[in-house]
Amino acid sequence: MLARTPLQPSKRLSDLYGARVLLKREDLQEVRSFKIRGAYNKIARLTPEEAARGVVCASAGNHAQGVAFACAALGIRATVFMPAVTPLQKIERVQHFGKAGVAVHLVGDTYDDASQAAREHCRVQGAVFVHPFDDPLTIAGQGTIARELVEELGAAPDVVVAAVGGGGLISGLASYLKAGGGATRLVGAEPAGAPSLTAALRAGEVVYLEKIDTFVDGAAVKRVGELTFEVCRRHVDQVLLVPEGQVCTTLIDLYQNEGIIAEPAGALSVAALDALGEDLRGRTVVCVLSGGNNDILRYPEIMERSLVHQGRKHYFIVEFAQKPGQLRKFVDRALGPTDDIVRFEYMKKTNKERGAALVGVELRDKADLAPLLERMREAQLNCRQLSSEELLYDYLI
């Protein structure tokens, strides 16, 4: 039913950080994420009367799979609400595990939208709400990961890094590792575009974020849980904000080096290691690789975000005179020997003499940008580099 997942040493990461780095492979659960632990723990403890009413959950995808899996095993009906932007791969997996016993509804753009719809459904239908993170039984189920770590290592690790969305995973780890004053340093890795726990810690109370980036869909919530906030406030030693571009670079590194297909939220813990740097040296460090439900169709965007984050991909609006040889001038006089045009399209001819083009350039190294800009100036090209703050940029990434 639930797998005791491997604790896999990573030689690459250990060498990189001068530490003993191990990956807790929750992506190898049957549902490819840790969420099965909390969902099953909650659902298996329902009374016969509660089970007969059926269960409802809201999820960005992984919790829904855990609920569907548990309900199918226990013979309980489930209704699942997920955001309309949930990757198709996760929707199909929910239907696969739940079979005829699960009904899926896609609502809104975020987990919070789906949660509101799920709670209304519970109110009308009288079903039991299975919360993905803000429930003691769900938190306790996630805490079994920490027990396995200690049992396998023979002692608590020096550092544990885990993803933070609603806070269920890290609260479960904290509840076990910090019991009795445990010395393990517990670090939360939160997507920079959805800093709900960071905002709550700064405010001293749970707050609601009006706008979030949903790219790291498994950890993109507008509001952390009330229970999880209290646990994190007392027991989590540090919360790091991880840029989405860094997550993408880590996803690619894990695939190319370890052969691990992680999802964005699953890679958060590993992506946070750079920010810890020298603090890791000589220590035993566990990164909870929390999930591997990644749709292959997302990889072009992952590659794009990674290159932009590394400073290797840039976009320009270039005005070309409408006469022969202008593109050759750009290629010969502006581009360096390792620079590559990866996108080129005319956007609009402003008049008969000039026309604007969108030009995407990929560099071998981010240090090549300054020489490229200097050559553009020397060639007297009328061009403007697009900023990530511009609306057009959002459509390119």
Which residues are designated catalytic? 35, 290
DSSP codes joined into one string, 284-305: EEEEEE-B----GGGHHHHHHH
Question: How big is the chain, counted in residues?
Answer: 397
| DSSP H helical ranges for 157-312 | 168-177, 196-203, 226-235, 244-253, 264-271, 273-276, 299-309
- CA distances, 117 to each of 57, 114, 163, 262, 382 (Å): 10, 5, 25, 29, 51
CA distance 286 to 115: 31
CA distance 85 to 71: 24
Give the number of other Cβ atoms within 10 Å of residue 234's Cβ: 9
Residue 368 tokens, joined: 């090549």
For 30, residues 6+ apart whose C-beta sits below 8 A from its C-beta are 1, 2, 3, 36, 69
The half-sphere exposure of 234 on its side-chain side, counting CA atoms within 13 A, is 15
- CA distances, 318 to each of 58, 181, 222, 343 (Å): 46, 61, 39, 12
- Tell me 358's DSSP state: E
